[in-house]
Amino acid sequence: MKCVSLEGKAQGGQREMMHTIIFVFTNIQNVFSLCCNCPIPLSAIEEELEIVPECFWYGLCPKAQGAEVLSMSKLAGKVAVVTGASSGMGHAIVERYVKEGAKVIAVARRKERLDELAESLKDAPGKVIPYVGDVSLSEVNDGMIDAAVKEFGRLDILVNNAGIMDDMGPIAEVTDEMYERVFKLNVYGPMCAMRKVVNVFLAQGGGGCIINVVSEGAFHACAGAVYCASKAALVSFTKNTAFMYMPQNIRCNAIAPGGIATEISSSMGVPNM
C-alpha cells in the first residue's frame, strides 16, 4: 500500500498541508493488510477517514473471518450516506459503520438487498435506512442527502462507493455509449453528491468528511481506457475539493483499491451498486 497526494497551499504567509490522502492498494493482499499488520499506522488512516481501519475490510479479509473485534462505538452519533450499499465494499462499509454506532442512509438500486442489510443490522448500535435509487441521476444524489438531514437532523460523512467497470477496451474501441454510461455513474454521480453534501456541510457550520472510492486504475493502466479515465477524474475532484474547503475543515479523501472480488469485477459492465 502507498499514499500519494499530500499537497499544500500558501495561506497567511504559511504553508498548510491539504487534507487529501489517497490510499492505493496495489493488490488484494495489501487491502487485507489493513486488518493484518498494516505497515501504516492505523491511527493515521482512522484520523483522516473517520473509519475504523482495522475493521474496514472485515468480511473480505480471510484472516478476519470469525475474529470480529468491535471498538467502543467510534462512530456513535455520526450520520453517513453510503452508495453502492447492496453488495461488495459498500455492504461491508455500511455494516461496519452501523456496528460502530453510525446512522446510515444505505443507497443502491436493489431494494431487496438493502432490506436484507437493514434487517441483519437491526440489533446493531447504529441504524440503517435503505434508500433506493440510481446514483447516476442528479435527483437521486440530492434526495439521499436530503433524506439523511431530514431523518437525523444533520450529515457528517459521505461515501461515494458505487461504480461500474467498462469492457477493458483500449481507446480505439471506446464507444460513445460506454463512455457516457461509465462517466455518468463514476464521475457525474459522485460530483452531484459532493456538490450537495458540501453545501450541507457549510450550512452546518463547516466540518464533514467525504470518502471517494476510486481505483488503482486512476494511476496505472490496469483496466479499460474509460474506467481508468473516470477514476482519475474522481481523484481530481477529490483533490480539488479538499483544497478548496480546507479552511472550512471539510475533508475529502480517496481510497484506491486494486482487484477485489466483488460484483464489479465478476461481471464487467454491471454496476456494483
The CA distance from 117 to 128, in Å, is 8
Which three-class secondary structure state does DSSP give residue 209?
A: strand
CA distances for 73 relative to 58, 98, 154, angstroms:
16, 9, 19
Classify residue 124 by its DSSP letter. Answer: S
Element (H, E) at 151: helix 138-152
Which 3 state secondary structure label does DSSP give 53?
helix
Tell me how crowded residue 122 is: count the other CB atoms within 10 A of its CB.
9
Residues taking part in catalysis: 227
Whether 156 and 80 have beta carbons less than 8 Å apart is answered as yes
